[in-house]
Structure 1
Amino acid sequence: MKKVITLLFLVSFGFINAQKAFSGKGDIKVNVGANLQDGGSGIQGSVDFGLGENFSFGFVSTYLLGVDNFNGYYRNVPTEIYDQKPDFIDRFDAKARISANLSSVIGIEQLDVYPGLNLGLHNFGAHVGGRYFFTDGFGVFTELGFPIAKYGSNNDPFYHLNNQVTFSLGASFNL
C-alpha cells in the first residue's frame, strides 16, 4: 500500500509542477530514448532548436543495436543467404527535420505535440511526437516516424530497417 501511495504522490506532484513544454525562439530540446521497430530495436537521439513561437528545426539519429540476421532467399538472388549481418550503414540513420510545435495552439502549455517532416540518409519522411515536461528541465517524449519517399537500393535484405514505421519513447531535456 505504501508503494501505491508513493506512486500516486509522485505522479500528482509531477502533474501539479509541470512546466511549459515549448517556449519558442531560442528553446532547445534534447530527446534520448529507445527506438522500436520491426526487425530491430535501438537508441534514438534528437535535438530541436526553436525558431519561432510554433516552429523548430533539428536533427535526429538512430542506431539499431538488436537486429535480426537474415537467412533465406532474397528477391532475385538465386543462392540462399546464411546468417547475414547488417552493416553499419544498415543500422544507422541521421535526419534533419522541421517541426510545428503546437502546445500554444492546443492550449496545454505542458504538452508539446509536434508533427513535422524530415530528410535523412535513407528516405524523406514525416514524424509526429509529443513531449510532456514534469519540471523545467525534465520530461518524457514519444514519437512515431514513417517514410514518405524511400531511396536507395532495394536489393539489400536490410533495406527495410530504415524505411518503415518506427516508434520511439524516452526522456526529454530542456537546455
Structure 2
Amino acid sequence: MKTFLAGIFLLIIGFANSQTTAYTGENDLKAQLGADLQRKNALGAVATIDYGLSEYFSVGLQSAYIFKAKEIDGTPLQFKDRFDAKIRLSASLGDTFRFPENMDFYPGINVGLRDVGGHIGFRYYFNNGIGLFTEGQFVIEKYTNTIESNNRLNNQFAVLAGLTFDLHHEPN
C-alpha cells in the first residue's frame, strides 16, 4: 500500500510540469463536480460552472441535490427540500497572494433559492485541465425567520469537495 501511495504521489508531482492555470481572467471557464457535505448526515452532489468576467472576477451557477437524507426531525423530505440552485460571484485572489499559477483562492457571494450566503474556496490543478477543489459555504441571511425542519438542508454551512475542470484550456 505504501508503494502504491508513493507511486500516486510521484505521478501527481510528475504532472506538475503540465499544469493548467487556475484562473486566467476574462473568458475563463471552469466546471466543478463534487460532494456536498452538510450537518444532519446530509450528503449530496454539487455542480458549478464559473465564467471569467475580468482579471479578478467571475460569475457562475451552482446546483446541488442532497440524496443521503430521508427525513429531518421526523419530517419526510421531498424533491424541493433536497434541491438548491445559486448564482455566484467570486473574486480570484491567487495572484494577489502570489500562489503558483496552478492554484487559486476565491472568496465570493451567492444568492440561492433559500438564502444569501458566501463561499471561500481553493482550486489546485495538477495537470492540463483537471484538478481538485474544496469550498466552504455559509449563510449570511435566510429568506425567512421561521425555519421548517426540512428547510435546513441547503440552508446551513456546507463543505464542498471534488474535481475541477478547466473547460477553456488550450492543449499543449
Regarding TM over 0.5, the answer is yes
Structure 1 unaligned spans of 5+:
72-82
Contact 2:20 2:166 (C-alpha < 8 Å) held by counterparts: no
Greater gyration radius: 1
Aligned counterpart, 2:24: 23
> Per-residue CA shift, 1:19-41, capped at 9, x if unaligned?
21000000000000000010211
> Per-residue CA shift, 1:135-164, capped at 9, x if unaligned?
221011000000100013625211211221
Distance 2:123 2:162 in 1: 10
Distance 1:111 1:146 in 2: 22
Aligned residues: CA RMSD:
1.6
Amino acid at match of 1:104: D
- Give the superposition deviation at 1:89: 1.3
Identity over aligned pairs, percent: 37
> Per-residue CA shift, 1:76-114, capped at 9, x if unaligned?
xxxxxxx53111111111000100001211122111110
Aligned counterpart, 2:38: 37
Contact 1:132 1:139 (C-alpha < 8 Å) held by counterparts: yes
Distance 2:147 2:119 in 1: 26
- Give the superposition deviation at 1:46: 0.2
Aligned counterpart, 1:69: 71
Query: What TM-score, normalized by structure 2, do the two folds share?
Result: 0.89
Contact 2:71 2:150 (C-alpha < 8 Å) held by counterparts: no
Number of aligned residue pairs: 164
Amino acid at match of 2:126: F
Structure 2 unaligned spans of 5+:
168-172
Q: Tell me, what secondary structure is at the counterpart of 1:6?
A: helix
- Give the superposition deviation at 1:125: 0.4
Contact 1:153 1:159 (C-alpha < 8 Å) held by counterparts: no
Q: Tell me, what secondary structure is at the counterpart of 1:99?
A: strand
Aligned counterpart, 1:148: 140
Runs of 4+ aligned structure 1 residues displaced above 6 Å come to none
Task: Please say if 1:6 is aligned against 2:13.
Answer: no
Distance 1:122 1:138 in 2: 31
Query: What TM-score, normalized by structure 1, do the two folds share?
Result: 0.87
